[in-house]
């Protein structure tokens, strides 16, 4: 069972070369037979909206690991790319010049300093283009930020705030109420109907928190936005619970470290928060106990940081505390690799339903209560492997017909 999938080397989290993890290492997918149905499954599996393109021929660069899958043939309705028909793990006749990629969602942010801001561009099925800022306001920005699942909108800059685009202008006079699920679902003049120039390109700034100066999007100095400008957080009382809230708010997985002492460099703006004290269950970092906005006794040498761990390699996992994954729910734990699972409490999978346990690895099954599969019907039991079957009651197959027992 492959425990993870990721997009690599795209310009944002919604595009990139597709890589899968087989429990030991990451590898690519060959583009033989690769089409929009395959991309649809990947985009849905990563919860990144609909697929709009399925680029081939190493569109986002060549991978360097093994080639894991070839001749993938999805119908588009599968829940995981590994559920689609394929040649089998590691069976292929390809080189990395054929690495498969996807582009998800029909909207993106361009030229921002991070993934939460930028010039808004939409895709009309053939190419990307900008939106004119006539009537552009915070309601329009709210729809964009929600569509991209980037948190609340905090600004809706106009006048090409993040630079002028060069592609066609796709939309003008966009008038969202703020409740729409897609920017193209808001009232507008119609695709490519406008009276604008690129000096009027519309932009958004989403989220009131960001990570700065890390080597990737999963780490950095924590900065928050107070409605006027960005600033840092002082590291007094800063710990893994605070980092957990930040990582979850940014949808970057579990927090694995909460570095202090300006680990990713000193900020230059104001210090916004100090003595932050989170229980770890809060939704927003600003919802944690603190001294109040801009109240502190710190310098930038005490700027707080986080390192989040959405995708971990084995050498990273070996550095984690023993209980690093202990806060995961049972279903979330299903995506862990073998060496991650070994750090979990013994009963982590005990609350899964019988059918959910069908997806467990061998070493996960060993942690289950003896009657874990007792709720399965006879036909469902046919999918069990030998060590799962050993946990069944003696009459488990009694309901099968003679032909089914074959």
Residue finishing a domain among 269, 290, 308? 308
**What pTM value is reported for the model?**
0.54
| Among 84, 104, 124, residue at a domain's last position | 104
Residues 139 and 183 in one domain: yes
167 domain residue, yes or no: yes
In a domain, 229, yes or no: yes
How many distinct structural domains can be found in the chain?
3
Q: Are residues 90 and 160 in the same domain?
A: no
Per-residue exposure over 56-71, b if at least 16 CB sit within 10 Å of its own CB, e if not: bebbbeebeeebbbbb
Q: Would 379 be classed as within a structural domain?
A: no
Dihedral sign computed on CA atoms, order 331, 337, 5, 100:
negative
- 112 and 93 fall within a common domain: no
- Is residue 121, in this structure, part of any structural domain at all? yes
The residue among 206, 233, 260 that closes a domain is 206
Q: Give the contacts of 332 (CB within 8 A, at least 6 positions apart).
A: none
Q: Are 311 and 4 in contact (CB under 8 A)?
A: yes
Q: Evaluate whether residue 72 is within a structural domain.
A: yes
| 97 and 149 share one domain | no
Whether residue 300 is found in the same domain as residue 226: yes
Separation of alpha carbons 294 and 274, rounded Å: 8
Three-state SS across 138-197? HHHHHHHHHHCCCCCEEECCCCCCCCCCCCCEEECCCCCCCCCCCHHHCCCCCCCCCCCC
Q: What is the pLDDT along the chain (406 residues), one digit of tens a residue?
A: 334 789 998 877 778 999 998 888 899 999 999 999 999 999 888 877 778 889 999 999 999 989 999 999 999 889 899 889 998 888 889 999 999 999 888 898 999 877 788 999 998 867 889 999 999 999 999 999 988 877 788 899 999 999 999 989 999 999 999 988 789 889 999 999 999 999 999 999 988 898 999 988 889 999 998 877 889 999 999 999 999 999 988 878 889 899 999 999 999 999 999 999 999 988 889 889 999 999 999 999 999 999 997 544 434 444 444 454 444 444 334 334 344 445 445 554 454 444 333 334 344 445 455 554 454 433 333 333 333 344 444 444 444 333 223 3
- Asked if residue 219 and residue 192 are part of one domain, the reply reads no
Structural domain that includes position 144 = 107-206
- The domain that contains 18 carries what CATH number? 3.10.250.10
């Amino acid at each position: 069972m492959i425990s993870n999938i990721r997009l690599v080397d795209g310009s944002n989290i919604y595009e990139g070369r597709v890589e899968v993890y087989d429990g030991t290492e990451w590898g690519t997918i060959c583009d033989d037979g690769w089409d929009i149905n395959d991309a649809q499954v990947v985009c849905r599996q990563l919860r990144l909206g609909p697929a709009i393109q399925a680029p081939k021929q190493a569109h986002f660069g060549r991978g360097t690991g093994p080639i894991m899958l070839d001749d993938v043939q999805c119908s588009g309705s599968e829940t995981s790319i590994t559920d689609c028909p394929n040649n089998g793990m590691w069976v292929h006749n390809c080189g990395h010049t054929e690495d498969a990629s996807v582009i998800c969602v029909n909207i993106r942010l361009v030229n921002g300093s991070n993934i939460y801001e930028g010039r808004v561009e939409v895709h009309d099925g053939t190419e990307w283009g900008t939106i004119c800022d006539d009537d552009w306001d915070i309601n329009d920005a709210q729809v964009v930020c929600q569509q991209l699942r980037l948190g609340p909108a905090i600004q809706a800059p106009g006048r090409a705030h993040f630079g002028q685009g060069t592609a066609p202008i796709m939309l003008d006079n966009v008038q969202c109420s703020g409740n729409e699920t897609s920017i193209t679902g808001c009232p507008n003049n119609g695709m490519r109907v406008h009276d604008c120039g690129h000096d009027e390109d519309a932009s958004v700034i989403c989220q009131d928190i960001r990570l700065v100066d890390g080597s990737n999007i999963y780490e950095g100095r924590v900065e928050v936005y107070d409605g006027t400008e960005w600033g840092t957080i002082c590291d007094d009382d800063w710990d893994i619970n605070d980092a957990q809230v930040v990582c979850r708010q940014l949808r970057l997985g579990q927090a694995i470290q909460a570095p202090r002492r300006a680990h990713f460099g000193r900020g230059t703006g104001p210090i916004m928060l100090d003595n932050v004290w989170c229980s770890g269950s809060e939704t927003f970092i600003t919802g944690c106990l603190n001294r109040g906005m801009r109240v502190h006794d710190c310098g930038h040498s005490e700027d707080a940081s986080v390192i989040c761990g959405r995708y971990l390699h084995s050498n990273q996992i070996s550095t984690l505390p023993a209980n690093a994954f202990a806060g995961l729910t049972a279903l979330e734990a299903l995506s862990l690799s073998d060496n991650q699972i070994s750090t979990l409490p013994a009963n982590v999978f005990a609350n899964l339903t019988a059918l959910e346990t069908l997806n467990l690895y061998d070493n996960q099954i060993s942690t289950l209560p003896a009657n874990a599969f007792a709720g399965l019907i006879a036909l469902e039991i046919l999918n069990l492997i030998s060590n799962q079957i050993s946990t069944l009651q003696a009459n488990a197959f009694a309901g099968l017909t003679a032909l089914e027992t074959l």
